Amino acid sequence: MNPSFKDLINTIKKSKTKINIADITKAYQFAEKAYHGQKRHSGDPFITHPLHVANTIASWGLDQESIQAALLHDVLEDTPVTHKELAQKFGSKVAFLVNGVTKTGQVKLRNSKDQVFVENLRKMFIAMAKDIRVVLIRLADRYHNMLTLTAVPLEKQKRIALETIEVYAPLAERLGMGKIKGELEDLAFPFVHPKQYKTISQLFKTQIKQTKKHTNQVISQLKKILKK
């Protein structure tokens, strides 16, 4: 059994949401076959991505259809699988969710700094989703893509990171997902503001060294006192 799939099953069991493991396994096996031979920019098998997205969705306590759709969310875009085939094998609701994720993936920032445009982009994203679960799957998808952004070609990194800050992080905030909003912003910051990130990192490292030095001095003094 794929270790990542095993992790997904464990997450599902911990969530205590009523889910048929056999149906999840069916979606996983279908996805694994559909993505067979495909690789991520990192060189990892493509199936590692939908498994991570599905695990995130399961950890949020979403339903069975959402987890199945998370496993299948790229098949319409990246494989010969059709909407009709998905509906026949997994039902119209799962096919609807996958189609929604595919459509919302076409919403791109295109490096615009016009805030009216950006706000309209967020509204378009939500309108295209039609089901809040589509937005949640897309957020989980973006979260994993940000975790692996260093593997993406340099010319795409900043656009993806900026899009994350301008579109995805605010969407997470509107859904009351402050933790995810913060994580997305933290992951995007080094790519959008590399100079500031380098400065902050250096200051942080200096502070850590100073704190460690001070701590060692205190420990040394305490040891001397205890020996007396």
Q: Residue 45's beta-bridge partner residues?
A: 39
Q: Distance (Å, rounded) from C-alpha 90 to C-alpha 82? A: 12
- 44, 77, 119, 186: the catalytic one is 77
- What are the C-alpha distances in Å from 202 to residues 163, 186, 190, 209? 26, 16, 13, 11
Read off the amino acid at residue 182. G
Q: Do 164 and 171 form a contact (C-beta atoms < 8 A)?
A: no
The Cα diameter of the chain in Å comes to 81
**Is 23 annotated in the active site?**
no
Q: 208: exposed, middle or buried (C-beta count within 10 Å: 0-12, 13-18, 19+)?
A: exposed
SS3 at position 20: coil
Phi, psi of 109 (to 5 degrees): -75, -35
78 carries an active-site annotation = yes
Tokens representing residue 105 in the block: 């993936």
Residue 184 contacts by C-beta under 8 Å, 6 or more apart in sequence? 139, 142, 143, 146, 164, 165, 168, 169, 172
Instruction: Say which of 23, 32, 63, 78 is annotated catalytic.
Output: 78
Which residues are marked as active site? 77-78
